[in-house]
A and B are shown apart, each in its own frame.
Chain A
Amino acid sequence: MHGRTEPFLAEIEEGGKIGPEKRLYIYAHAYRARLMEILADDFIALHSLVGDDMFEEICLAYIDAYPSTHPSLRYFGQHMAKFLKENDQYSSIIPAIEMAEFEWTFNDVFDDPDMKSVTVEDVTQIPPEAWTTLRIHLQPSFKMHKFKWNTPAVWSAVNEGDEKPIMPEEYPIQSHCIQWKSDLKCFFRTLSDEEAEVLRSVKAGKGFPQICEMLMGAHNELASSRAAELFKGWVMEGLVADLEYLKS
């Protein structure tokens, strides 16, 4: 009933220990409390960033703007970043928008399909001649976002309960951050523009030789060793879910 009970009042039987208004209030109150609770659970760092009062204000406005359209409560907060972006009151608070997006992405990563990560041992099994046909498949949970502020660092400080909170700070240039899950654990880290571009290509299905080619401009004859170095890093981090190559 989205907190508005008046239209129902005429339908409710009177009598008993409490009146119809009170009876409907029980539902309206429970509705709001339940949604506020799930938002507070899903946006701990956003809450900490904007403070109690603004967070409550945001949540109440969000509940009105985006009534739950999914049978599972788990998806209720999915439009939070969009809501902040399109609302004049909050659209200029970039760190809040970024935080909402970052925190929500973890929710998705958490529930995404699980695949066993490729190991260094698996990589050593690739025959030398097969490297030209190699395609790297990232974890299905892999996500990448751009940030103008130090959002991942602030999130980290809040979630690890650091005594001194990290203050939001604007980066001189945009940075990238990836989030993924390996062995049921969620991870994130920031990365260079170069690595971000390469990962985007890998995600889009480009093969290992094409990645080497991409790196030629900056690394010349060292391009393939740079590609191998990046690849090894991803394997160590559990970011790679599968390897595809032509077996001779």
Chain B
Amino acid sequence: MTKTNIEKPFLGYGLGLRTDHYEEILSGDPEVDWFEIISENYMVKGGRQLYHLDRVKERYPLVMHGVSMSIGSTDPLNKAYLQDLKTLAERVKPEWISDHLCWTSHGGHNTHDLMPLPYNEETLKHVISRVRQVQDYLGRRILLENASSYVTYKASDMTEWEFLTSIAEEADCLILLDVNNIYVSGFNHDFDPKTYIDYIPADRVFQIHLAGHENNGDYIIDTHDHPVIDEVWDLYEYTIKKMGRVTTMIERDDHIPPLSDLLAELQKAREIGETSC
């Protein structure tokens, strides 16, 4: 593994910015160090979303997290999308921009889901060249996140952690490590999440996602609608012990609870994050 000379900022402990919490965030000063926005939700010309975004931006550092870059797709990169992303970044001035290591479009149609890639040399080359193009266009490194998956392709001949690491090192991009997703995929594909974490180059991990999921007994669906489970907290502690402090957030996309519930979860992340390194 190559050592990078990237200086890794530490933003502290954050939350995803969700519509339900706008008022509470803006009227109080909740103890959140930063917020992550879903980029696509703000790629509009006006309205409440942008209005609130501008106000939150005045008070908190922001990072942008996208779900539609489709970095692994065989479709050409979506120029209009990248343009919108860049325009939004000029407005938000985020600490960084992330998306997922997956494909979300094929033949011009969008899945609105994070579809896994076959992990092999051919895909590797393809994705590396696209990450470079995106980074050149945006003029900055991007973070790629490991998504949860439910299938393994016959065409794969390497592990996801090998694949992600190669992409990061060869395209010189950064990593958003979703510890819950590692747990979910580990369960669905029978691997040890710690093997995954051990392999990932710590110096490239700029951000961590923690989330909950739905366990259906013989498989787990990554629903982001439950609190973080104990096993994932343990894995988070393991990750921090290995990698040192990393900018961390609680990711909740559905069944959004009151802000206070998320703040309590975030406090737990803070305690683990600050005492485990």
Contact = CB atoms under 8 A, between A and B. Distances in A.
Grouping DSSP codes into helix (H, G, I), strand (E, B) and loop, the A interface class, with mixed when no group exceeds half, is loop
A76 B111 CA distance: 11
A69 B78 contact: no
B112 A31 contact: yes
Nearest to B189: A16
A33 to B, nearest CB: 10
B1 interface: no
Given A13-B152, A16-B190, 6 more contacts: A17-B188, A69-B109, A112-B46, A140-B46, A141-B46, A184-B47
A13 B119 CA distance: 13
Interface of B: 40-41, 43-51, 68, 70, 78, 81, 104-105, 108-113, 115, 118, 150-156, 188-190, 218-219, 221
Contacts of B221: 26, 30
A35 interface: yes
Contacts of B68: 71-72
Nearest to A183: B51
A72 B44 CA distance: 10
B51 to A, nearest CB: 6
B151 A13 contact: yes
Given A2-B109, A26-B219, A72 B40 contact: yes
11 contacts: A11-B155, A13-B153, A16-B190, A20-B151, A23-B150, A70-B110, A72-B40, A73-B112, A76-B112, A110-B48, A114-B47
A140 B44 CA distance: 13
A205 interface: no
Contacts of A181: 46-47
B45 A74 contact: no
Given A16-B190, A71-B78, A24 B112 contact: no
Contact of A114 (B46, B108, B112, B115): B46
A71 B40 contact: yes
Contacts of A184: 47-48, 51
A22 B154 CA distance: 16
A12 interface: yes
A31 B45 contact: no
A111 interface: yes
B109 A74 contact: no
A78 to B, nearest CB: 13
A71 B110 contact: yes
Nearest to A72: B40
Given A71-B78, A71-B81, A114-B51, A12 B40 contact: no
Nearest to B69: A71
Given A30-B113, A70-B110, A13 B154 contact: yes
A27 B153 contact: no
B151 A12 contact: yes
- 8 closest A-B pairs by beta carbon, nearest first, are A71-B68, A111-B44, A114-B46, A113-B46, A17-B218, A13-B152, A67-B109, A68-B110
Contacts of B70: 71
Given A31-B112, A111-B46, A13 B40 contact: no
Contacts of B104: 71
B248 to A, nearest CB: 26
B231 to A, nearest CB: 17
A32 B75 CA distance: 22
B188 to A, nearest CB: 7
Q: For B78, B104, B154, B221, which residue has the most chain A Cβ atoms within 10 angstroms?
A: B154
A93 interface: no
A34 interface: yes
Q: Which of A12, A20, A23, A71 has the most chain B CB atoms closer than 10 A to its own CB? A: A71
B180 to A, nearest CB: 17
B43 A72 contact: yes
B168 to A, nearest CB: 23
Contact of B40 (A11, A27, A34, A73): A73
A167 interface: no
A90 B161 CA distance: 50
Given A2-B109, A16-B190, A71-B81, A11 B153 contact: yes
A1 interface: yes
Contacts of A72: 40-41, 43, 68
B36 to A, nearest CB: 17
A113 B45 CA distance: 5
A65 interface: no
A18 interface: yes
Contacts of B81: 71
B115 A27 contact: yes
Interface in A165-190: 181, 184
Contact of B219 (A18, A68, A110, A114): A18
A70 B78 CA distance: 10
A2 B105 CA distance: 11
